[in-house]
Amino acid sequence: MPDARNLAKVRRPLFRRVLVVNVTLSFLLAVAAVGAAYLAVGKAVEASARADIEAEIRILDQHGELHQGFGYANAISFRILPHEDAKNVDLSVRDELTARPSLSVYLLLREDHSAVVGNLSGWPANTPYTEGWLRFDGSDAGAAPGAIIAKVKGVHGNRFTLVVGRRLATYDALYQSFIPTMIIIAIAMAALSTLIIGALARRFGARVNVLNAVFAKVRSGAVNNRVPSNEVERDDELGALATEINTALDEISRLMTGLDAVSQTAAHELNKEVGRLRELAISAGNEQIRKAADALLALLSEILELARIDSALGFAMQHVDLGDSVMEAVTLYQDSYDEKGVALSVSLLKTPATILGRAPLLTNLVANLLSNALKHTPPSGSVSVTVSRDAGSVTLCVADTGPGADSESVSELVARGATGPVAGYGFGLRFVQAVAIRHGARVTLKNGQQGLSVFIVFPATQTRA
C-alpha cells in the first residue's frame, strides 16, 4: 500500500514529462517560426529580386537596340564600372541610366558563349545553358560566393545572350545572423519556460504532498485529521479540492460516529436480552439454550470488535514491536495449551520487529490465531509462532499440526464460516483478516505435510529497523 512519499515519487516523473514536453514544444515552435520566417522572407526577397531584374532588363532593352549588342555592352559597362572608367559609354544612354545597383550582376555572351562584358567571368559552371530563370552561386561564375538569382534572355536575334541577376544577400544574412539569433532566442525561451514550469511544478507538488499527508494520516487511523486552513482558503482548484476533502472527511466522521452510537446501543440491548435469556435457561436447567446464549454473547463481542476495527474514529497507528504482542498473546493462552497437552513454541527476532500498528489489536490478532490453532490441533500436537524479517518486511507465522484446511483461500474460509456454526473458525479468520487489512498487511494460508500455516506479512513501507 503506497504512502505519501511513494505517491510523490509517482508524480515526479509526470512533472519531468511536462518539462520534456514543454522543451520539445518550445523547440518545435521555434523551428516552425524560424522556418516560416525563412520561407516568408526568402519568398519576399526573391519576388523583389525578380521584379528588379525584370525592370533592369526593360531598361537595358530600351538602349540595347541602339547599337545592336554594343548598346547592351555600353549600358552594362556604365553599371559595373566607375563613371570615370566608362568614358566610351554612349552619351545618349548615360543620362537615362541610374546609379548602378551594388547587388546586381550582369553578363553579355556571344553565340560561342564567350563573355563580351559583365561582372561575371562567364556562364556558371555545372549549369545548363538555357533561357529563363536560374539560381546559382557566385563562385560558379567567377564572382564572390553567395546565392544569385538571374534571368537569361537572348537578344539581337539570339546572337547575344543577356544575363541579369541579383545577389540574394538577405538569404546569406538569414543563414549568418537571423537563424542563429532565432535559435538562441528559442533556447532562451525554452529555458525560461522550463524554469517557470519547474517552479510551478514544485509548488504544485508541495501542495499535493500536503493533501497526501492528510490521506496518509487518515489511512493510519487519524480520521479527525484535516487539510490545513491555509490550503483550504486558496482561491484555486487545489483549494477547492482541499475544501471537498475536508467536507468528505467531516461526513465520514459524522457517519462513523453515528454508526458507533447505533452499534453501542444495539450491543447494549442485545447484551441485555441475551443475558436475560441466559439467566432463564440457567433457571430452567436448559444447558443447550445456555450454551447457545453464551455463543451469541461471544459472537456479539466479536462483531463489536470488528466494527471498532473497521470504523473506529481516531484509530492512530504507532511504532510497536510485534514480538511484544506475540508474547502477550502467548502468555494468555499458555495455560490452555498446557491443559490440552499441545506444545507451544515461540521464535522471535533478536532485535525489535517494529511495525506501524496498534498493539491491542495486534495482540488480539495473535490470540485469535492461537485460539484457532489450539482448536484444530489434537493433544500431543504442536503449534509454533515465528516472527521473521525479510527484505524490510516483518512476517508473522502461526503453524499447527492439525488436519489442515480444505482450502487455502482466506475469502472462501471466511465465507464458509459465515454460514457455519456460530463463532466458528471462519469468523475468527474474518477478525484476523480485518486487523491485518487495517494494518496494511497481507494474509496467506498454506497447508503443509501436517497442519496449516497462517502467514501475515507487514509491508516494507510500514517497518522500521
pTM to 2 decimal places: 0.45
Residue 215 domain-assigned?
Answer: no
- CA 323/CA 350 separation, integer angstroms: 10
The whole-number pLDDT of residue 380 equals: 92
- CA 91/CA 240 separation, integer angstroms: 87
The whole-number pLDDT of residue 342 equals: 93
Residue 273 domain-assigned?
Answer: yes
Residue 207 domain-assigned?
Answer: no
The whole-number pLDDT of residue 419 equals: 42
Residue type at position 335: D
Say if residue 322 is in the same domain as residue 282. no
Nearest CA-CA partner of 303 in 311, 293, 315, 314 = 311
Spatial contact of 290 and 282, defined as CB atoms under 8 Å apart: yes
Say if residue 328 is in the same domain as residue 293. no
DSSP SS3 for 320: strand
Say if residue 242 is in the same domain as residue 341. no
**C-beta contacts of 118-124 below 8 A and 24+ residues apart:** 118/76, 118/80, 118/163, 119/80, 119/143, 120/163, 123/163
Residue type at position 373: A
Say if residue 369 is in the same domain as residue 458. yes
Say if residue 151 is in the same domain as residue 282. no
- CA 436/CA 394 separation, integer angstroms: 13
Check which CATH number belongs to the domain holding 47 and give it: 3.30.450
Check which CATH number belongs to the domain holding 433 and give it: 3.30.565.10
- CA 51/CA 151 separation, integer angstroms: 11
Say if residue 73 is in the same domain as residue 84. yes
Among 111, 141, 172, the domain-final residue is 172
The whole-number pLDDT of residue 9 equals: 46
- CA 27/CA 194 separation, integer angstroms: 12
Say if residue 436 is in the same domain as residue 323. yes
Among 149, 172, 195, the domain-final residue is 172
Contacts of 460 (CB under 8 A, 6+ apart): 391, 392, 393
Spatial contact of 383 and 377, defined as CB atoms under 8 Å apart: yes
Say if residue 254 is in the same domain as residue 392. no
Check which CATH number belongs to the domain holding 269 and give it: 1.10.287
Residue 182 domain-assigned?
Answer: no
Whole-angstrom distance between the N-terminal and C-terminal Cα of the chain? Answer: 19
Q: Give the residue numbers spanning the domain of 262.
A: 220-315
Q: What's the domain count of the chain?
A: 3
The whole-number pLDDT of residue 374 equals: 92
Residue 301 domain-assigned?
Answer: yes
Say if residue 309 is in the same domain as residue 376. no
Residue 145 domain-assigned?
Answer: yes
The pairing of strands 147-155 and 318-321 is unpaired
Q: pLDDT by residue for the chain (465 residues), tens digit each?
A: 444 444 444 445 556 676 677 777 777 877 787 778 777 877 888 888 899 999 989 888 887 766 655 678 888 887 876 544 444 544 444 444 433 445 789 999 998 889 988 889 899 998 898 899 999 998 999 888 888 999 999 988 888 899 999 988 766 666 667 667 777 877 787 778 778 877 887 888 888 888 888 888 776 666 778 899 888 888 888 889 989 998 988 888 788 777 667 766 776 777 778 778 878 888 888 888 877 777 777 666 766 666 665 555 445 678 889 999 999 999 999 999 999 999 999 999 888 888 888 888 899 899 989 988 998 899 999 999 999 998 878 999 999 998 887 777 777 776 655 444 444 445 577 778 888 887 888 898 888 778 889 999 987 554 444
The whole-number pLDDT of residue 106 equals: 92
